[in-house]
Structures are given as C-alpha cells and as structure tokens.
Amino acid sequence: MQWDAMPRPPCAVASIGRPLLASLLIFAALVLSPAVATSVDDLSFAQWSSLPGWVQESVTKGDPASRYAVCLCLNPFYQRGDFDGDGRADYAVLVTNRRDGKRGILIVHQRDHSVHVIGAGHPLGAGGDDFKWMDAWRVADRSPSKSDGLVVEKTEAASALIWWDGKRYRWSQRGD
C-alpha cells in the first residue's frame, strides 16, 4: 500500500466540531487571563467590604476611577501599611490602566487621602510603567525612611523595595 493511499486519521477539530472548539478556546482565554475588575460591581461583596470606606471612595471617585480599575490579578489585591510614616494605615491597591491595560499600584494615604500611582503608565525605577511582571508583593517593615515599604517581586528573579521619601515614592533594587 502506498503512503498517499493510506487512510488518514480524523482531524481533532473535525471530530469535536468547530463550535465546541471555539467554546473551549473562549473558556480557556477567560479562565487563564488575570481578573481585572472593570468596575466596583466586578468585585465581590467580600472583596469590596475588605477595604475601608475612605479607600473605596478614593478608588471610585474622580480621576482614579476614570483612569484605573482594581486588578484582582494577585492575591492579595491590596496591602495595608504605614507607607508615609504618619502612624496611620495607608492602603496599596493593584490597578490596571483602563486606557492601555498597564498594571500598577495605587497607594492612598489616610492622612490626606492623596492618591499615588506607581506603574500603570507611571514609571518608577527598574519596574518601569507596567507591573505585569510582578507575581508577588508584600509589606516591608521599616524602609530607609522608617515607614513601611512595599516589596515587589518577580519570584526567583528579582525584587525591589518601594518606599516614601516624604515627597514621592522611590525604588530600591534588592536583587536580580
């Protein structure tokens, strides 16, 4: 028997059908893509309730709400620490820039409810303006300014400390 005369096995696409294949591809794209809450309605009640009212207001009103969406791409999606050194709890929330999809961190200081964005289109140090590379983060006690800082990491590759110098956030590379 010649090779070109041998029966061919059925194509996998033909055997499961194109509509089913399309459904599986869409499902995989939704499941495997990181979650971005495009509005407050996309956060679960428990997620939304875990943020204090003053942080909720800072994230949902004015310029931050129109430019950034809360990103559920890492767990936890927020951190709590005294980032400005005033003795009060401040919050850092993962966000995505609505315009270009770049990820970053939105920090709200409790003292004056000021909002500071790192990444998400605003470059800082070697982290650049898109923090999609980040796969872990945590609060670090006592940065160079004696306030809490944020350690951002690409696990098993590099990490940095983000800290407040009294006027702006700074980047200190820790390892790579």
Asked, for residue 134, whether it belongs to a domain, the answer is yes
Give the integer Cα–Cα distance in Å for 176 and 165. Answer: 23
Asked, for residue 28, whether it belongs to a domain, the answer is no
- The residue ranges of DSSP E strands in 47-112, in sequence order, are 68-70, 78-81, 90-97, 103-108
Contacts of residue 15, defined as CB under 8 A and 6 or more positions apart, other chains included, come to none
Asked, for residue 25, whether it belongs to a domain, the answer is no
Residue 92: what pLDDT?
A: 98
Asked, for residue 21, whether it belongs to a domain, the answer is no
Residue 36: what pLDDT?
A: 53
Asked, for residue 104, whether it belongs to a domain, the answer is yes
Residue 157: what pLDDT?
A: 93
- CB atoms < 10 A from the CB of 14, how many? 9
| Distances from the Cα of 76 to the Cα of 53, 71, 82, 135, 137, angstroms | 18, 10, 17, 11, 8
Count the domains in the chain.
1
Asked, for residue 10, whether it belongs to a domain, the answer is no
Contacts of residue 111, defined as CB under 8 A and 6 or more positions apart, other chains included, come to 84, 86, 88
Give the integer Cα–Cα distance in Å for 161 and 138. Answer: 10
Residue 124: what pLDDT?
A: 95
Amino acid, single-letter form, for residue 158: A
- For residue 73, how far is the Cα from the chain centroid? 5
Contact 81, 52 (CB under 8 A): no
- For residue 139, how far is the Cα from the chain centroid? 15
What letter does residue 128 receive in the DSSP assignment? B
pTM of the complete model? 0.75
Give residue 75's domain range.
Answer: 40-175
Asked, for residue 137, whether it belongs to a domain, the answer is yes
Give the integer Cα–Cα distance in Å for 175 and 54. Answer: 35
Asked, for residue 1, whether it belongs to a domain, the answer is no
Give the integer Cα–Cα distance in Å for 106 and 77. Answer: 11
Token pair of 31, please? 């499941």
Each residue's pLDDT expressed in tens, for the chain with a length of 176 residues: 565 565 655 555 455 566 665 555 454 444 444 455 444 557 888 888 899 999 999 888 888 889 999 999 999 999 999 999 999 999 999 999 999 999 999 999 999 999 999 999 999 999 999 999 999 999 998 766 789 999 999 999 999 999 999 999 999 998 76
